[in-house]
Structure formats: C-alpha cells, structure tokens
Amino acid sequence: MDFALSDEQRMFQQMFADFATREIAPRAEEMDHAEELPPELLRKAAEQGFLGATLPEEVFGAALDYVSYVLLMEALARQSLSFAVALATHISLVAMSILEHGSQAQREEWLPPMADGEVIGAFALTEPDAGSDAAALQTRVRLDGQEAILNGVKTWVTNGESAGLFLVFAQGAEGMEAFLVPRDTPGLTVGYREPTLGLRSVSFNTLYLEGCRLPLAQRLGEPGSGWTIAQRAGDRMAIALAAAGLGLAAESLNVAAQFASERVQFGVPIAQKQAIQNYIAEAAIEVEALRALLYRTAWLAEQGGDYSFDASAVKVFAARVARNVTNRMVQVMGGYGYMEDYPMARKYRDARMLGIIGGPTELHRVRVARHIFAERDLAIVP
C-alpha cells in the first residue's frame, strides 16, 4: 500500500499551509481572545474553495479527495484548531450530509451557497439530557399535512452564532428524523453561547425550537433515516477532527522544538538536555504514528464502504496524542508555555476538547469494542 502523496496532493498541501500561515496565524491569538471567527477570514477561505472542499464541482465545490481534505484540516489546525473545527462542522456534518442524503432540490438550494460561504452550516443533535445517548432525544417532530412542526431544545450547537442553516434531529413517528432548518424559520431561536476553556473562537449555542413550522420537503433523507444520517456524519467528523488533532500536535512540537533550540540554561540550549530530548522524541513518535493511522483511514474513506471502526479508532488516538504532545510541550517551554502571550497555552487548552467534541473518547471506544466483539457474536452496548 502506497501512502506517498500525489503531486496534486502535495500542491494542495502547500497551498493550504500558505493560506494558514498567511491568513490565520497572524490572527489566531486575536481570534481566541475576541472569541470569534472574523467573517472576512471565512470569506477568504471560501474564495480558496475551502468551504466546499469535498463538494463536487457542479455545486461549485473544490471536489477534493478525502486525503486532500485531511491535509486541509491538518494545515488549518496547525494555526487555529477553532478555525478547523468550525469548517469541519460546516463541511463534514452539514454540507456532506446534504450531498449524501439530500434530494436534488435540496442539493441545488443549499450546497452552492454553502460552498461559497454565503451560508454557514450548524449541527444540532445534542440536548440537555441526550448527548452520547442520541436515542434519548426529547425534541419532537409532528407532521401537519405537508408541514413539519419541531419542538425541543438543542445544546452545544456548533457554529450556532454564524449559521444560516441548522441540521436538526428530532424524534418522529417512524424514528429519528433530520431536518434542514434555515435561521429565519419562525419558532427557531438561537440562544445562550457556552463559554469554553478552549476552542474559544467557535460558538456553541443553545437552540430553541418552539412550534417551529417548516415544509416537509425540508426533511433530509427518508422517514426515520435520522440515525443513519447522524452516524455517517459522525464518522466523517471523526476523521476531520483527527486531522485537526494531528495539525495541532505537529505544530506544538514545532513551536517547542524551536524554543528548545534557542532557550539557553546552564550555558547551553536546553535542547541539549536529555530530559528535553525525551519529551521531543516521544512527541515526534506519537505525531508520526497518528499521521500514518490518519492517512490510512482517509484512504479507506476515499474507497467507500464502512469505515466507522477506523474513524473511531483514529479519533480516540488523535485526542490522546494532542493532549500528550501539548502537555509535554508546555513542560518543555516551562513558564513560557503557560503564558497566554505564547501560542502553546492556547494549543494546550484547545487540545482538551478533542476528547469531547465529535463524540467523547469513551463512546468511540465502545464503537471500537463493538466491532471487535461483533466477530464473536457478542453485542456491546454503552
């Protein structure tokens, strides 16, 4: 199996890195402290085709293969995990769900404006009493002729403040349903924004649906297909988040290694101290192990078929590597690593969220175990 990048993928990789270094890096700390993603930065990303990265050309997407998409998420997260997570939510959770499950009319209506950045997508699955246990959703949908009426409360709605379109899940007569709900739909209210330790540039909001009435034509997929839609979206998001974790860890290693080369103690650069070398070496080993697992998983996703086991496995590993590496690199930089004036503090805070967002590590471990024990005819439940 050849994991060498093609010439086109290397060209994309350089283009992504150039954009992240030129446009995101100078504003990363500002975005973190202001707790917002500048609209003009999103517009620039859209002009580069990033907001429609994996969408086909007929809806003005960039038609990137899955490995190239992983390279994009990796490059963006090197400079801002928040920016990468916001785009991954827009692309992997919402736009790709419409592409995969939407009607021709839905694809034509929503995918072009999503690709060019006119409409940002938000994902609304989690509720106050239904997080990992999606089957416990309390949001309900009732049909009234050719209209659907939604009632319920959603929490941790990623991109809630900037979104023009919400992918909302609700329980219906035939099981879980998914609906495309525009921001201006009567009965929909974007509420409280959660203050967070990390990922401060991403908005996580509470969403209120009170007699939210919309045409039944805005149901995504077949009746009762919401669970399948959510699962497929979760697999795509797991890979995107793993790529973001790789970018975060790799850049943290880079920052700390440069610091260790320049910081002098006891008359020599601290990079000459074995304790520092051990931290750097262990981080480098984990980063490269994650890269190999991630690129293989992206290749599998590109082939089609079921890659849910691989997506969960790489998501678990990426969250672990990001936490381990940023923790060690803070230690390498000492007090400077703990100062908000340096990027390592932000990276350290951001890394912690990778074990929670996109399904917590514990849930993905259950999915991995379920796959292993299914071969032994043993059902595993959370």
Residue-wise pLDDT for 338-356, tens only, equals 999 899 999 999 999 999 9
Q: How far apart are CA 372 and CA 240, in angstroms?
A: 23
Residue-wise pLDDT for 189-206, tens only, equals 999 999 999 999 999 999
Contact 321, 249 (CB under 8 A): yes
Domain residue ranges in the chain:
7-115, 121-225, 227-374
> What is the pLDDT averaged over residues 32-42?
95
Question: Is the CATH code 1.10.540.10 the one for domain 7-115?
Answer: yes
Residue 3: which pLDDT band, with cuts at 50, 70 and 90? Answer: confident
Residue-wise pLDDT for 245-263, tens only, equals 999 999 999 999 999 999 9
H runs (alpha helix) in the chain: 7-19, 28-34, 39-47, 66-79, 81-88, 96-101, 104-115, 226-262, 274-303, 308-333, 343-352, 361-374
- The architecture that CATH gives domain 121-225 is Beta Barrel (2.40)
pTM for this entry: 0.96
How far is the first Cα of the chain from the last one, in angstroms, to the nearest whole number?
A: 35
Per-residue HEC secondary structure of 158-224 comes to: ECCCCCCEEEEEEEECCEEEEEEEECCCCCEEEEEECCCCCCCCCCEEEEEEEEEEEEHHHEECCCC
Res 370: pLDDT: 94
Residue-wise pLDDT for 155-164, tens only, equals 999 999 999 9
Res 87: pLDDT: 98
Query: In the predicted model, is pLDDT for residue 24 greater than 80?
Result: yes
Residue-wise pLDDT for 91-137, tens only, equals 999 999 999 999 999 999 999 999 999 999 999 999 999 888 877 89
- Tell me the CATH class for 227-374: mainly alpha
